[in-house]
Amino acid sequence: MRRVWEGLAGNPALPAEAVERLVRLDEPDLSSELAERTDLTERQVEVLAERGVVAAERLVENGRLTAQRVDPRRQPIAALALLRAGRAPAGWAELLAGRRELWPELASTERLPAGVARRLLAAADQDVLVALAEAQPDPGVLAALAAHPSSHVRQAVGWNPAAPADVLADLLNDRPPLTSCEVCERHPVPWTHPPDCPDPDCDLPGGAACDGSHQYARHTVVEAALAHPNAPAADARRHLHDPSGLLRAPLAERTDLDPDTYAQLATSTEPFVLAALAENPAVGERLIRELAAVPHETVRRAVVCNPAVPLDVLERAWEGVVLKLGATLPPRIAAADPAETERLAASADPELRRLLALRRDLPPHVRDRLAADPEARVANAVAPHPGLEERQLTAMHHRHGRLVGPGIAANPDTPTTLLRALTTGEHNVATLRALAVHPAADGATLTACLRDRRARERAAAHPALPLDRIRALLADPATAHHAAANPSLPAADLLRLMPPQ
């Protein structure tokens, strides 16, 4: 029943006495749902704020929890949530650091004062230090963490957006050198973690190895640092000829390297390295054109997604490969100027027209041209576009039938009568799933959506679903928690679902 109670907790029609009964239940997930409500009393806010950091943070985000109403000594969880959001006095951090059970959340606070961070650095365990290394902005603290004997802590520094260039240079050059790793601490070296490791308690990652140089641990640290935009290009370039493609791939993503380095990376044989290079706008037109000739779907998709790809290259990207982009709108098409937009709309390639149709800022005449396109996939892509009239959407449906149902159902301006028409003829589950959340869908349309499992889950909370259908979904464990959130349920039904007093 806990899932049902979570649904009730988010139901705006839940009576005040029922809200109070749910607040009394000490359930973390339930408290998080209740924290989203706008009708909580001051006392309920105070109670929920101490149930867990997630609930407290939601209350802070919603403006229900403020520093003026919190005593950090009596309400440490609420104080922590405010501190993490930058809405508490800095002095609270020192006070909360006296509670060791709060160290993991405190360490992951981006606004943690450097003095408190150094206090944790001196006494915390590895997991807390990893959290500190990922979030702490102070250069001095990060320098100390980058010299920590654990590769996990060093790796976390490499992931930190605030890591400065000199600290990242140390990580890239193994300064100071790692003196041990998880592998050699557990096994005599040389040792490589076998893919069929017989030890059920072994938590070493696949490929972990040590020959005395801690090569796997160093690799993880370097991989993290190479992907950081602040890492010095000269230090990063030293890994250009590394045998591991996992190191050359983040190098290929960098936008601050010289043309010769990009050209050497283009000699890699691994598709994922070439794909990283092909999506990089800094590599230059010549290399983009070369990579566009690689007959591999991953590389070709990356070329299409490069913001700097020339339009003529984009037009030929589908030659020789099966390339499926789905709902991904390539940046180059999203940024096409008016003349290029006209060119794409007139393209003989329906896939290019379809990708253009994914834009939602098209000039009306281009939008209307695509809406009348003879290719169903083009019409379906443009169908959710704002500004399309009912007659245009209806004409699309008459012309293409079920193939444009999902797009029409996704248009927020589609009228109720047309939504209902989408379910009366041949249709697909994608249409039902879009209809199930449409604000204009009526009872008949939503009832038709109940044929599909995923659409049924979405329709269960729709206020226009007939009451008898909602009650039937309450009896189904797969949909009961969705139906419990339906604001159309009468108060008597809601109270019957409540936990016993």
The distance of Cα 35 from the centroid of its chain, to the nearest Å, equals 22
Instruction: Tell me which residue of 450, 444, 371 sits closest to 404, measured CA to CA.
Output: 371
Q: What is the DSSP string of 138-173?
A: -HHHHHHHHT-S-HHHHHHHHH-TT--HHHHHHHHT
Question: Each residue of 254-273: pLDDT tens digit?
Answer: 999 999 999 999 999 999 99
Q: Is 210 helix (H, G, I), strand (E, B) or coil?
A: strand
The distance of Cα 226 from the centroid of its chain, to the nearest Å, equals 22
The distance of Cα 424 from the centroid of its chain, to the nearest Å, equals 36
Angle, alpha carbons 24-30-33 (nearest 5°)? 115
Question: Each residue of 459-471: pLDDT tens digit?
Answer: 999 999 999 999 9
Q: Is 51 helix (H, G, I), strand (E, B) or coil?
A: coil
| Helix residue spans in 425-497 (DSSP H) | 429-435, 443-449, 453-459, 467-474, 480-483, 491-496
List residues bridging with 209 in a β-sheet.
192
Pairwise CA distance, residues 142 & 428, whole Å: 54
What's this model's pTM, rounded to 2 decimal places? 0.89
Within a 13 Å sphere around the CA of 125, how many CA atoms are in the beta-carbon half? 6
Assess contact for 223 and 251: CB atoms under 8 A: no
Pairwise CA distance, residues 324 & 317, whole Å: 11
| Helix residue spans in 2-41 (DSSP H) | 2-9, 16-24, 28-34
Alpha-carbon distances of 475 from 29, 32, 158, 470, rounded to whole Å: 22, 25, 50, 9
Q: In the structure encoding, which two tokens stand for residue 373, read together?
A: 């396109």
Q: What is the DSSP string of 307-348?
A: TT--HHHHHTTTTTS----TT---HHHHT--HHHHHHHHT-S
Pairwise CA distance, residues 208 & 194, whole Å: 9
Q: In the structure encoding, which two tokens stand for residue 374, read together?
A: 């003879």
Per-residue pLDDT of the chain (501 residues; tens, 9 = 90+): 789 999 999 999 999 999 999 999 988 889 999 999 999 999 999 999 999 999 999 999 999 999 999 999 999 999 999 999 999 999 999 999 999 999 999 999 999 999 999 999 999 899 999 999 999 999 999 999 999 999 999 999 999 999 999 999 999 999 999 999 999 999 999 999 998 888 888 989 888 999 999 999 999 999 999 999 999 999 999 999 999 999 999 999 999 999 999 999 999 999 999 999 999 999 999 999 999 999 999 999 999 999 999 999 999 998 888 888 999 999 999 999 999 999 999 999 999 999 999 999 999 999 999 999 999 999 999 999 999 999 999 999 999 999 999 999 999 999 999 999 999 888 899 999 999 999 999 999 999 999 999 999 999 999 999 999 999 999 999 999 999 999 999 999 999 999 887
Burial 116-127 (b: 16+ CB within 10 A, else e): bbbbbbeebeee
Pairwise CA distance, residues 169 & 231, whole Å: 6
**Cβ contacts of 344-353, under 8 Å, gap ≥ 24:** 344/311, 345/369, 345/370, 347/315, 349/315, 349/318, 350/375, 350/377, 350/378, 351/318, 351/323, 351/325, 351/377, 352/314, 352/315, 353/378
- Between 364-371 and 338-345, two packed helices, what is the crossing angle to 10 degrees? 10
Q: Is 191 helix (H, G, I), strand (E, B) or coil?
A: strand
